Structure 1
Amino acid sequence: MSRTQNAAYRIVDEPAPSRWTHIAVDPIWPLFGFMFGGTWLAWPWFVVNGHAVGSPTRWRETALVALGFLGSFGLLFLVFWALAEGYLGRSDAWWALLVVTLWKMGVSYGLFVLQRRTFELYAWFGGRVRNGILVVAAAFFLRDKLLALLPHGIWLLVVF
């Protein structure tokens, strides 16, 4: 047999089977999780959901989450360093912290866009989809309690 006869046809965005399909959700729910809970909820949820739907970009999504946390920490470090060195005043630092929020929003939206294509194929071909409203609602109501448990400092700004 020639090589072309053995090759299987594969769509690039085609979801791969996963044993986690029973917890797959529409990627809009982790995005809402970011809005109502924070990155502590949304970014790991995006990673788990990418594996659950069998996303071909799941490792890229995982790398983007790692880059998101490292970038948040790096931007916060840069803002606090600039404040300590006198490059920024106290009122300027509050505005500079908006860059961190924009970074987190950009990473979250990027994760949403990466997962959306695969999820649509997954759902179209009968993949099992859960509703994430309970997780988002719980995160919204538990967010302040979780804030109180964490030590105050830069970690609060990284994960929320």
Structure 2
Amino acid sequence: MTSTYRIEDEPQSSQFSHLVVNPFWPLLGLMFGGAWLAWPWFVVNGFAVGSPTRWRELGWVIGGFIGSTVLAVTIFVLYNNNVIHSDSSIQYAILVLLVWKITVSYTVFTLQARTFELYEYYGGIVRNGIWVLLLATFLGRKAVLTLLPFKLWILVMS
């Protein structure tokens, strides 16, 4: 009888391993591009690296989009009912939305970073994410944010 030893965070091989980037790049993607860039990139990267927490990461991303939508709708409802009406109160409300997005992104980053470090240590091929980041920031951001003419879309995706 043979037993196999398996590290809990050990990455599993994937057919998308050629797409693996350091999870720092999708985190930067949030800062430069927005949630529309960072969160799907985190999901693709989690599946590409074979992360054992990829389903949890996907859950965080889905929850992030749902939470962003709820917070954005709440901001619009509060604004339309004159609960928040000054520029500073609107900025604070949007700050809550931004903190939510950063929290979700950093949580997914920390989940993915452990597996990525093992993947890289044992010789996994890692791509540089700078080109995706630059292209998406300079060419994709405007296209995605103007895809739908709704302010809700812009708040959720940015």
The normalised TM-score by structure 1 is 0.92
Larger Rg: 1
Distance 1:73 1:49 in 2: 24
The alignment covers a number of residue pairs equal to 156
Q: More displaced, 118-127 or 103-112?
A: 103-112
Q: Deviations over 1:71-123 (max 9, x none)?
A: 00011111111222232224212221110011111111111111000000000
Contact 2:145 2:157 in 1 (8 A): no
User: 2:118 — aligned with what?
Assistant: 121
Q: Does 1:14 align with 2:15?
A: no
Match of 2:151 in 1: 153
**Structure 1 contact 46–111 (Cα < 8 Å) conserved:** yes
What 5-or-longer segments of structure 2 have no aligned partner? none
Distance in structure 1 (CA, Å) of the matches to 2:46 and 2:143: 28
Conserved in 2, the CA contact under 8 Å of 1:83 and 1:90? no
Higher mean C-alpha deviation, range 43-52 or range 143-152: 143-152
Match of 2:94 in 1: 97
Please state whether the residue corresponding to 1:149 is helix, strand or coil: coil
* Identical counterparts, % of pairs: 53
CA offsets, 1:4-53, max 9 Å, x none?
x4542211101011111011111011111111111111100000000000
Structure 1: gaps spanning 5 or more residues: none
For the residues of structure 2 that align with 1:145 and 1:77, how far apart are their CA atoms?
22
After superposition, the CA RMSD in angstroms is: 1.3
